[in-house]
Structure 1
Amino acid sequence: RAGTYGDVVEEIDDAVGRIRAALEEAGLAENTLILFTSDNGPWIIKGADGGSAGHLRDGKGSTWEGGMRVPGIACWPGTIAPGQVQRTPVNTMDWYTTLLGLAGQDIPKDRVVDGGDLSPLLRGEALLDRPFFYYGPGNQLQAVRRGPWKLHRITSSQTGLDYFDGKLPLLFNLDEDPGERFDRSEQFPEMVAELQNLMDKQMKETDRAGTFWD
């Protein structure tokens, strides 16, 4: 009844169910971590077939919350307590570090490794090493988040829409305004300055590592 999108969701649901059933039949369910997430928000230029970000702004290809914030589900019977809801921002690069650690492997020392260990979060504990969260497609740093505050210095959208009449930078409190509708930059100039400084430092560090930001 929900068209192509509904059919895709039903097929994925069925496939994941088959995987879980096979693990249980093989006696491996309690020795297997199942992760379910997406690499981006909805493809909104596809209309109903592309999904919806609900109350979040924009979608795939943008650093607005609708493009970057996606559900993540982790299932590990006997290890992860069911029914938990975590609000700490994490990203898919964190799973690389997390899975190496769970498998008893060392993190490579010959390169800069993005991502942190999410094992404490899976156990229902707090992550203490997550002070900042950076947003950017490719090699372009567009935004940063610290706590509830998110600063955009560059914005983009597949739709071609120019929100806020091109005004930049933009500051949002995501705890109060996850839909990024109310710019607070003029009310909190000191927060704008602090977050801009974080972005400048990150860009310099990345330049020294050999990646150049636009």
Structure 2
Amino acid sequence: MRCLAFLLCACLLAGLTSPASAAERSPNFVFILVDDLGWTDLGCFGSSFYETPNVDKLANSGVRFTNAYAACQVCSPTRASIMTGRYPTRTGITDYIGAAQPDKWNRKTPLLPAPYETKLALDEVTIAEALKQKGYATFFAGKWHLGSEEYFPEHQGFDVNQGGIDRGGPYGGKKYFSPYGNPRLKDGPDGEHLPDRLATETVKFMEAHKDEPFLAYLSFYSVHTPLMSREDLKQKYEEKKKTLKHGEIWGQEGARKVRLVQEHAIYAGMVEAMDQAVGKVLDGIDSLGLADNTIVMFMSDNGGLSTSEGHPTSNLPLRGGKGWIYEGGIREPMIVRWPSVTKADTVSEQYVSSVDFFPTILEMAGVELPQQVTLDGMSFAPVLKGQTIDRGAIYWHYPHYGNQGGSPTAAVREGDWKLIEFYEDGRLELYNLANDPGESNNLAEKKPELASKMHAQLKAWRQETGAKMPTPRAAN
């Protein structure tokens, strides 16, 4: 009898300490961030040249946001905004880390760019640190670009870091192919492809932590330069390119030529390789039995590269691209799948910002943030449930000169209206994005009261968030 009682107690204790069921557990999060992916670079967002069946499948199973924005037109500021839920003006990271500071500025420009922070401060609360409060295991793979070694992911709340360093691209070794020359990613077999390797590491992490809630943050180096593709995919798109019929390939954006047609074979191969890696992660979620309790989010950090550095993609019908405040530089392809909540194959026109991920994820996970932390984002969880939200205004401040031709600018969007301020000459441009997503009809002179009201709103926001401004250059 004593032996039987012992066995019964053991069984009860095992039941009490066994992994929680999916219904009882906090949801898992798989956050996928692609570098430099343009708004129309996916099949589900309108591309007829690039093939992305796996991301398209994800879109068909969740919500596709057509008015999703990066907090900046270049990478590091947006990445910090996702990590913290705070605008670049608050984190101080307003340009890509590595850009010349004003005391090193040697370009002949009317303004000196503002100074910016070169790391994500350790006292910022990251999404990984917030989720760890509730027992989440945390994983980061891929591009970090938020500071030097003491500010790497493992010091910002991530238990595991596979490849996250200070570089803005895969610039070591053979770049997109092993050996990688990355101090946070062991080399694989010679010729191993980086996006596939990052997906493999993500699946390994999910398998190791399938019995506890986790955050897997997969931050691709793809499709950032250098423009390098697997040879088989390059050949595939070289052949596909021969079948295209199109008009003029090049247009003009300011002093820069801008690509008008998606037909770059190497870039297309990079996009498809990224898509295949996403497919590996999605298959891993399914094969591990995690699909019913894993929220998947997909986003890009800035617009597609259309005016510089090989001009590999087109963002039409949007204007401009990476480095520009126009929609092509800041509007991103965004997809969210929340099992048992989002309806399959849904499209939302709700405008949202990358600062909104942080409060949304916290709401989904049931995590409260310390009161002393100031968030700029608003949860879009109600939108995922089929409801509407009054998002209010979203803002941008880029007091720098981009490598892609953009100049120091700021912008605000509220409702259908977007106002842009150009810091060099104070020029204002006002667009109704519902009628004119390509920003071809400046209405600032026709609607001066609205322009003035939105400009005052923008200036007040800059003051409230402590935005640093570019300064006039001293005459030689």
Aligned partner of 1:190 among 436, 440, 449 = 449
Shift in Å, 1:48: 4.7
Query: What are the equivalent positions in structure 2 for 1:84-123 lying under 5 Å apart?
Result: 84-123=346-385
Task: Give the Cα–Cα distance (whole angstroms) in 1 for the partners of residues 409 and 431 of structure 2.
Answer: 17
**Mapped contact 2:303–2:329 kept (Cα < 8 A):** yes
The TM-score, its normalising length taken from structure 2, stands at 0.40
Q: How many pairs were matched up?
A: 200
**Mapped contact 2:302–2:329 kept (Cα < 8 A):** yes
Partner SS for 2:398: coil
Task: Give the Cα–Cα distance (whole angstroms) in 1 for the partners of residues 302 and 323 of structure 2.
Answer: 8
Q: Does 1:32 align with 2:294?
A: yes
Query: What are the equivalent positions in structure 2 for 1:203-214 lying under 5 Å apart?
Result: 203-207=462-466, 211-214=467-470
**Mapped contact 1:141–1:203 kept (Cα < 8 A):** no
- What letter is aligned with 1:188? K
**Mapped contact 1:206–1:212 kept (Cα < 8 A):** no
Aligned to 2:89: none
The TM-score, its normalising length taken from structure 1, stands at 0.86
Q: Answer 1 or 2: higher relative contact order, Cα 8 Å, separation at least 6.
A: 2
Aligned to 1:160: none
Task: Give the Cα–Cα distance (whole angstroms) in 1 for the partners of residues 336 and 310 of structure 2.
Answer: 29
Aligned to 1:170: 429
**Mapped contact 2:431–2:442 kept (Cα < 8 A):** yes
Aligned to 1:202: 461
Partner SS for 2:336: strand
Aligned partner of 1:181 among 440, 443, 450 = 440
- What letter is aligned with 2:410? Q
Moved over 6 A (4+): 138-141
- Structure 1, unaligned stretches of length 5 or more? 157-165
**Mapped contact 2:319–2:439 kept (Cα < 8 A):** yes
Q: Deviations over 1:159-182 (max 9, x none)?
A: xxxxxxx78111111111111111
**Mapped contact 1:61–1:137 kept (Cα < 8 A):** no
**Mapped contact 1:35–1:73 kept (Cα < 8 A):** yes
Q: Does 1:60 align with 2:313?
A: no
Shift in Å, 1:76: 2.6
Rate the CA distance shift 1:3–1:48 in 2: closer, same or farther, 3 A. Answer: farther
Aligned to 1:142: 410
- Structure 2, unaligned stretches of length 5 or more? 1-236, 238-263, 401-407, 471-476
- What letter is aligned with 1:148? D
Q: Deviations over 1:127-185 (max 9, x none)?
A: 12x111112236976011111111111279xxxxxxxxx78111111111111111111
Identity, % of aligned pairs?
Answer: 33
Task: Give the Cα–Cα distance (whole angstroms) in 1 for the partners of residues 297 and 376 of structure 2.
Answer: 19
Task: Give the Cα–Cα distance (whole angstroms) in 2 for the partners of residues 188 and 133 of structure 1.
Answer: 20
Q: Which has the higher strand share?
A: 2
Partner SS for 1:153: strand
Q: Which has the higher helix share?
A: 1
Rate the CA distance shift 1:69–1:196 in 2: closer, same or farther, 3 A. Answer: same
